[in-house]
Chains A and B, each alone.
Chain A
Amino acid sequence: MCTVCGCSKGNVKIEGRAPGGVKFPYRPHHAHAHDHDHDHDRHHHVHAHPAPAIPAEQAAEHQPTLSQQAGGAALHYGQGAAHAHAPGLSQARMVKIEQDILSKNDGYAAQNRQWLRDRGIFALNLVSSPGSGKTSLLAETIRQLGRDTLVYVVEGDQQTSNDAERIRAAGAPAIQINTGKGCHLDAHMVGQALEQLNPADDSLLLIENVGNLVCPAAFDLGEAHKVAILSVTEGEDKPLKYPDMFAAADVMLLTKIDLLRHLDFDVDVCIANARRINPKIKVLQLSSKSGDGMDLWIDWLLLEMNDAQLVKQREVARLRQQIAALEQRLQERS
């Protein structure tokens, strides 16, 4: 288990799916598939020469050379630590891969993003601490958008489907993902949830992440924007305490502003702190209880949904033009 945040593998449940049908994280628990031939001599060699123990200072020496090797070939025989062996006798080789650790997640996120773009769906990934009022804000947003706007919600929580039930009561289809021991949603979970939820074209998709200002920052789900929600009961220095999240977010919603008169919360300081982390962050202040500022939030959502729909329409028009051009060529032949 992770010593920092306590997250662990397994236990993910998506509503409507048989438990155990999908394994999370997606890395299979068995070792890699053996689809290549094994050379038995090589195997023997592996056992005869256990991995060389490199003294720490030698390993440290090796480090600065890494970046200098950047332009080199993919395979380096006998470089780096392999010097410990007699050159030519060792089966060990160096492989330069330069792959992003999150590339697997980013790949799934790119698929989700394309899937959403093709359907003109505007998707937001809502992140905050637990108890900032995400679910209340979502329920109020759904009510204010009314029946004319199709809204779908993906709810992420460690356990229970309480939030999804609250959203359904507000009138929107919702699906709950329980991450079990996990501390964040990842793009693969969201992709599975999308299949299940099957949102309509031109709709709004709101993904409520697990209440956690640390881990969800690093995981792209395929959304258009991350929206960080900060309630005025939390303290104006939160953007400084959790900078990664506020750096990853494009929008910050300052919620529960109806409580400001009871608190010492300094709105200007809070916004200045957020801009210290992220000079481009867009800030909206609102209260889902009193309704203050909700109109600006709703207007922004409708505007962005409109843009997403336009992107889809342009793509459809472009494809139609291509078809027309091909039909023309076909007619000219016959």
Chain B
Amino acid sequence: MHEMSLAEGIVQLLEDQAKAQDFSRVRQVWLSIGELAGVEAEALAFCLDVVSRDTLADGARFHFVRQPGTGWCLACSQSVAIHARFDACPLCGKHQVQVTAGDEMRVSELEVE
């Protein structure tokens, strides 16, 4: 969803960081994308390629680090692994699972010069 807006956001974030940390080129970017974030990595990669043209990130390599989905099962009172928002708890089979991790979208690391 809305990968174009996200790509715009990422490039703007890089430009802000360039000012704050004094660098002029971004060579590689590591993005941390949760399994439950609703982001299609391929579509985002395509958008980043378009959006980063003629910016400080022109030609940069974008790496996607998938974060696993985790939820808290209210019935079992413990953390469980889930792969979609509507997954049942793998232990009890109930649907009282609240997402606790794996819905994040972050820029975690950059290689710059």
A interface residue numbers (CB < 8 A to B): 1-5, 7-9, 25-27, 31-33, 35-36, 38, 42, 45-46, 51-52, 54, 59, 62-63, 66, 69, 74, 80-82, 90-105, 182-184, 186, 214-215, 217-219, 239-240, 243-244, 247, 273, 275-277, 279
CB–CB A9/B4 < 8 A: yes
CB–CB B86/A38 < 8 A: no
Enumerate chain B residues within 8 angstroms of A26, measured Cβ to Cβ: 12
Closest chain A CB from B5 CB (angstroms): 7
CB–CB B43/A35 < 8 A: no
Residue of A whose beta carbon sits closest to that of B43: A4
Interface size on B, residues (CB 8 A): 57
CB–CB A51/B2 < 8 A: no
Q: Contacting A9 at CB < 8 Å: which of B8, B10, B15, B25?
A: B8
Enumerate chain B residues within 8 angstroms of A215, measured Cβ to Cβ: 1-2, 5
Cross-chain pair count, CB within 8 angstroms? 182
CB–CB A36/B111 < 8 A: no
Q: Contacts A9-B8, A33-B19, A66-B65: A99 and B25 contacting too (C-beta < 8 A)?
A: no
1/0 contact trace for B8-22 toward A, CB 8 Å? 111111010111011
CB–CB A81/B27 < 8 A: yes
CB–CB B8/A2 < 8 A: no
Enumerate chain A residues within 8 angstroms of B18, measured Cβ to Cβ: 32
Q: Contacting A97 at CB < 8 Å: which of B74, B84, B98, B108?
A: B108
Q: Contacts A101-B13, A103-B13: A38 and B24 contacting too (C-beta < 8 A)?
A: yes
6 contacts between A and B (CB under 8 A): A27-B15, A42-B113, A91-B113, A95-B112, A98-B106, A101-B10
CB–CB B106/A99 < 8 A: yes
CB–CB B17/A95 < 8 A: yes
CB–CB A214/B1 < 8 A: yes
Would you list the 8 A-B pairs with minimal beta carbon distance, nearest first? Answer: A243-B85, A2-B4, A32-B15, A276-B95, A215-B2, A27-B12, A91-B113, A101-B105
CB–CB A2/B3 < 8 A: yes
Q: Contacting B46 at CB < 8 Å: which of A3, A59, A275?
A: A3
Q: Contacting A94 at CB < 8 Å: which of B25, B38, B86, B110?
A: B110
CB–CB A92/B113 < 8 A: yes
1/0 contact trace for B92-113 toward A, CB 8 Å? 0001101100001111111111
Q: Contacts A31-B54, A244-B1: A101 and B6 contacting too (C-beta < 8 A)?
A: yes
Q: How far is the CA of A54 from the CA of B28 in the complex (A)?
A: 10
Q: How far is the CA of A74 from the CA of B20 in the complex (A)?
A: 12
Enumerate chain B residues within 8 angstroms of A186, measured Cβ to Cβ: 5
Residue of A whose beta carbon sits closest to that of B31: A101
Q: How far is the CA of A7 from the CA of B56 in the complex (A)?
A: 23
Closest chain A CB from B70 CB (angstroms): 13
CB–CB A247/B85 < 8 A: yes
B60 interfacial contact with A, CB 8 Å: yes
Q: Contacting B95 at CB < 8 Å: which of A27, A45, A96, A275?
A: A275
Closest chain A CB from B102 CB (angstroms): 12
CB–CB B47/A96 < 8 A: no
Q: Contacting B2 at CB < 8 Å: which of A36, A94, A184, A273?
A: A184
